[in-house]
Structure 1
Amino acid sequence: MTTRHEPEETQARRSLWRDGNFLTFWGGQTLAQAGTQITELAIPVLAVVLLNATELQVGFLNAAAVAAFLVVGLPAGAWIDRMRKRRVMITADLVRAVALSLLPLLWWLDVLAMWQLYAVALVLGIATVFFDVSYQSVIPSLVPGRQIAEANGKLEATRELANIGGPAVGGWLVGILTAPLAILATVGTYLVSAVALLLTRDTEEPRAGDDKAPIMKEIGEGLSWVFGNPLLRRIVGTTAVSNLFNTLSFTMLPIFLLRTLGFSVETMGVLLSLGAIGGLVGAVATPHIVKLLGEARSIPVSAIVLALVAVLLPLAASFPDVAFPLLVAQLFIGNVAILAYNITQVTFRQRVTPKRLLGRMNASVRFCVWGVMPIAALASGLLASAIGVVGTMWVGAAGQLLAALFVVTGPFWKMSELPDADARMGA
């Protein structure tokens, strides 16, 4: 087992498969991701099937789930940089477990309503902001610098395994137990994740007392770091616009699948699971893609692929007899591209950013790339009410082409590898 007392050179030669500390962290996160996938299917099904939610209400629900990234995303990064990130993650897991457990209780009492779903989604979103920013910032404190990419690859691979199994299991659980009771499975996984984090050890040192400034100044420092780097600036542009239009389309996905196409909940779960296999393929294939194309060129190529396959989602409505395989292809190929893009750019962000700025950097990026999502979710509900679900998805597909322009027209084509922390950034 790797210990914190070994030199980094010795640790870097060890495989993470032999690092018991990382394996504990990894195992807890794998289970929690599987639980999250169950809930991401169960809550929309609960809204659409049990509470007969309208397009606008589904838009409100999705907006509530991601509103926290817009409202508290920036200050969360500054706060997290002042705290031990692993402890923040433990607290967030416990908050999410308690909030989710309210839904089956309210359902059992026969008082569950849409406004309660909005409230729980909002609390979950706030806890997830703190968890996710800490999650993306804690890796350099768990493994040596040269193993950050390997750690990210393993975490993303098992995230995608959870994406594969979670929806199918979620669909089965919803079909057998109903959506509210299926949510209890996620409560259990968050509790297990909290225990795994308690058993994990990190090398993070508390910030010195004199290394603290007013919150607004620290927020500004994080934003300045992100937008002062020309490569990060382009990556953020592509990711933000892509998330904007992707959310516009996928907010309506439960209604599209369950009402427009007439799929059952179980079929919906199987579809999402089959599509998620692409994420696993992307996580495993990313090192080979990077080796073939070069680290820098992998980013625009991934963005182009994602933009091209986006049209298959609304196109499925025009060919109902082959809608299922078309949607599997769209989700599969899209997930391959997303994973190749995300692993490459997240590793670059972690590698190039000073440790003292990791929380603020990740929060600044999340504010920009996730902060657009509640706006897009609300717009999706309004647009679908006006032009229909399928029309809204065509708008989302067209927007993916615009998203790719930031990295496609940038300097990535001229580079092979992305710079390290001590290298001069290209314009």
Structure 2
Amino acid sequence: MTGRLHKGSRGGVLRDGAFRRLWAGTTVSQLGTSVAGVATPLIAVQVLDAGPFQVSLLTAVAWLPWLLVGLPAGAWMDRVARRPVMLAADVVSAVVVLSVPVAAWLGVLTMGQLLVVAMALGVATVFFSVAWTAYLPAMFDDADLVTANSVLYGTESGTQVAGPAVGGVLIAAVSAAAGLVVDGLSFLISALCVWRIRRPERRPAAVERRGIRADIAAGARWLLGDPYLRNLMVHGAAANLALTGMNALLVVFLVRDVRVGTAAVGLLLAVSGVGGVAAASLTPLLVRRVGGARALVACKSATGLASLLVPWASRGPGLALFVAGMAGISAGAVAANVISGSFRQAYCPPAMFGRILTCMQFVNYGAIPVGAVLGGAAAAAFGTRTALVLLSVEYALSGLIVLFGPFRGRRDLPASRSDVALAG
């Protein structure tokens, strides 16, 4: 248990130097990624005159690596130290992202390059995401994970507020490529912060290895045999299918249907993210007051309902519908991520965590490129606004999966498989 914290307050979490460096590294990386989330589709729309389907492909290829390398990455991560993986992922991300502004300034940027960069960045993101998520339980006891995750997810929401605003202002004031310069530099800063973590990594107990395929199969069997994680996986796939289709169309919708300016796009997305910041801060209190299971069900159900407001946005006062809907999505999704992420970290066997996580993400995130392509195809066939209406209805209905699943009737989340057996 060497190196793990035993403090149950947020102050205790923030007083830990190793956590502060991890927090700083993930924060600047997520800020740059948030800037790129606005900058890349705007580059495609304004510089390359891309249509809705082409823009949706950028989202699709960015998430496709979860289908291609997610499972072996999780099995491999259970065998190696996680910090070097995070360092390598940051450096690779910086190199591929900085290639875009260089190509733009040389006048040779193409849609093909944007797609390749999105794919390479997606691969690096897979390894970085699995590595830091598996690294966090090595730093904290189970009782501290909700607090630690609330800090990290709250900060992620803060970067989602600041990132679009910074990206919109940079693009309006300088150029579309300037936002991706910030993104590339942020990955280098993240690498520096992670490199400065000096705490020895606590590794899971050694277990017999039978090969990558056998390790993946063992993780999949554990996941499919658990009703709680299986339910979260199915809901995640259904929700991501709809939500990613919506997100892939938001910039096109705001620019071409609602007809707002470039800077306003960033500001609207920024204001919408405030709900996530507030939700992350309040999630530990919500869990203590109503219980983790009840809070999880409520958040996932409410998030889908909020999305129904988004497609009805219009210029002027009608933009309030967009902000309210996206703020509700942000708040519910962030709170649910804090609860479910902390639940997985405490519930799964440490020696299998990477494999179980990536088996879930293989299904959850595997739905994302499909959703992005479906969203683009629906927009091309029916129009962007109609496509958003269809996707928001599907997102709202996905909440029924959790509402009528195994969490129903429980106040608290189970702590282990034995807890599940006793409850049964």
Give the equivalent residue in structure 2 for 1:163: 160
Matches within 5 A, 1:1-400: 9=6, 15-205=12-202, 211-316=208-313, 319-400=314-395
CA distance in 2, matches of 1:22, 1:141: 11
**Matched-pair contact (CA < 8 Å) for 1:142–1:203:** no
The alpha-carbon distance between structure 1 residues 45 and 297, as it changes in their structure 2 partners (threshold 3 A), is same
Provide the rounded CA distance (Å) in 2 between the counterparts of 1:408 and 1:189: 39
Which residue of 369, 394, 402 corresponds with 1:407? 402
Residue 210 of structure 1 deviates from its aligned partner by 5.8
SS of match in other structure, 2:198: coil
Amino acid at match of 1:334: I
State the alpha-carbon separation in 1 of the partners of residues 118 and 175 from structure 2: 19
TM-score by length of 1: 0.94
> Which ranges in structure 2 are unaligned for 5 or more consecutive residues?
none
| Deviation at residue 415 of structure 1 after TM alignment | 1.1
Is contact 1:48–1:254 with CA below 8 Å preserved after alignment? Answer: no
Supply the distance in 2 between the matched residues of 1:34 and 1:334 (Cα, whole angstroms).
19
Equivalent pair of 2:231/2:401 in contact (CA under 8 Å): yes
Which residue type is aligned with residue 127 of structure 1?
A: A
Secondary structure of the 2:273 match is helix
Larger CA deviation: 239-248 vs 286-295:
286-295
How far off its partner does 1:186 sit? 1.2
Shift of residue 208, structure 1, vs aligned partner = 7.2
CA contact (8 A) 2:2 2:202 kept: no
Could you tell me which amino acid in structure 1 is paired with residue 388 of structure 2?
M
Residue 242 of structure 1: SS of its match in structure 2?
Answer: helix
1:301 maps to a residue whose letter is: A
**What code does the residue aligned with 1:293 have?**
V
Distance 1:363 1:372, change over 3 A: same
The gaps in structure 1 that reach 5 residues or longer are: none
Tell me the distance in 2 between the aligned counterparts of 1:409 and 1:210: 37
Q: How many aligned positions are there?
A: 421
* CA distance 1:238–1:101, change in 2 (3 Å): same
Using the TM superposition, give the Cα deviation of residue 422 of structure 1 relative to its aligned residue in structure 2, in angstroms: 5.8
**Contact 1:77–1:360, Cα closer than 8 Å, also in 2:** yes
Q: 1:154-212 deviations in whole A, cap 9, x for unaligned? A: 11111111111111111111112211122111111110111111111344355677622
Q: TM-score, normalised by structure 2?
A: 0.95
Local SS of the residue matching 2:14: helix
Instruction: State the Cα distance separating 1:222 from its structure 2 match.
Output: 1.4
1:411 alignment partner, SS class: coil
C-alpha distance in structure 2 between counterparts of 1:206 and 1:404, whole Å: 36
Task: Quote the Cα distance in structure 2 between the aligned partners of 1:213 and 1:202.
Answer: 30
Opposite residue 29 of structure 2, the aligned amino acid is A
How far is 1:77 from its partner? 0.6
Point out the more displaced range, 381-390 or 44-53: 381-390
Paired AA for residue 361 in structure 1? I
Question: Counterpart of 2:408 in 1: which secondary structure?
Answer: helix
Partners of 1:345 and 1:210 lie apart in 2 by: 26
Per-residue displacement from partner, 1:372-409 (whole Å, max 9, x unpaired)? 11111111222211111111111111111331122101
Q: Does the C-alpha gap of structure 1 residues 421 and 54 become closer, same or farther in structure 2, counting only changes over 3 Å?
A: same
Q: Tell me the alpha carbon deviations over residues 303-338 of structure 1, each in whole angstroms, 9 at most, x when there is no partner.
A: 22112111111122xx44433111111111111111
Contact kept in structure 2, 1:276 and 1:331, CA below 8 Å: yes
